[in-house]
């Protein structure tokens, strides 16, 4: 099972994804304890992150960075400027969550992103993203974690 966005769904943006979280019975401030509910919250959060890129709402995406990388002030504006420059050459069209693994308060999310390039092509790119639960909420970690151990990570079932 893959969770997939589409250009039509992307037009609903933040409101639709929050409604999705509520519809799935998720508490946005759920515990960091890994459960079906917290995985649903993670999936909704990953959706919000990618929807922010689809809308070019880079400030919203910045607020979803894990606290270690979310410093505010000029750092926030520099990050937004950097991502905006990237957004001028590549536009996120749709994305799919392929798999989720958890280990403690962290998650490894495999995503396929389809982006439109200046020449009009829309290649798929496989990404591995890491997320961390802080105070009951999931935040994006913008690096690959060197201490991630797939041998002890727990694969999570995606909702049907």
pLDDT (mean) for 15-22: 40
pLDDT computed for residue 16 by the predictor: 41
* Banded model confidence at residue 31, pLDDT cuts 50, 70, 90: low
| Total residue length of the chain | 160
**What is the residue-averaged pLDDT of the chain?**
81
Q: Tokens standing for 53?
A: 């890129």
pLDDT (mean) for 68-80: 87
Instruction: Return the ∠ at Cα 65 (arms to 96 and 78), rounded to 5°.
Output: 110
Residue 11 has pLDDT above 50, yes or no: no
* Domains defined along the chain, listed by start: 3-156 (3.10.450.50)
DSSP of 114-157: EEE-TTS---EEEEEEEEEEETTEEEEESS--TT--TTT-EEEP
Q: Return the closest-CA partner of residue 10 out of 89, 96, 93, 111.
A: 93
pLDDT (mean) for 109-127: 89
């Amino acid at each position: 099972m893959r969770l997939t966005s589409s250009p039509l769904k992307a037009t609903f943006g933040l409101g639709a994804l929050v409604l999705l979280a509520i519809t799935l019975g998720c508490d946005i401030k759920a515990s960091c304890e890994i459960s079906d509910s917290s995985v649903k919250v993670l999936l909704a959060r990953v959706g919000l992150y990618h929807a922010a890129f689809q809308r070019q709402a880079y400030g919203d995406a910045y607020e979803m960075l894990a606290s270690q990388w979310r410093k505010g002030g000029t750092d926030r504006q520099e990050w937004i400027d950097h991502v905006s420059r990237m957004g001028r050459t590549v536009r996120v069209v749709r994305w799919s969550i392929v798999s989720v693994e958890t280990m403690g308060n962290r998650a490894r999310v495999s995503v396929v992103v389809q982006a439109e390039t200046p020449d009009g092509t829309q290649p798929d790119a496989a990404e591995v993203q890491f997320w961390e639960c802080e105070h009951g909420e999931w935040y994006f970690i913008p690096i690959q974690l060197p201490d991630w151990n797939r041998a002890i990570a727990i694969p999570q079932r995606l909702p049907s």
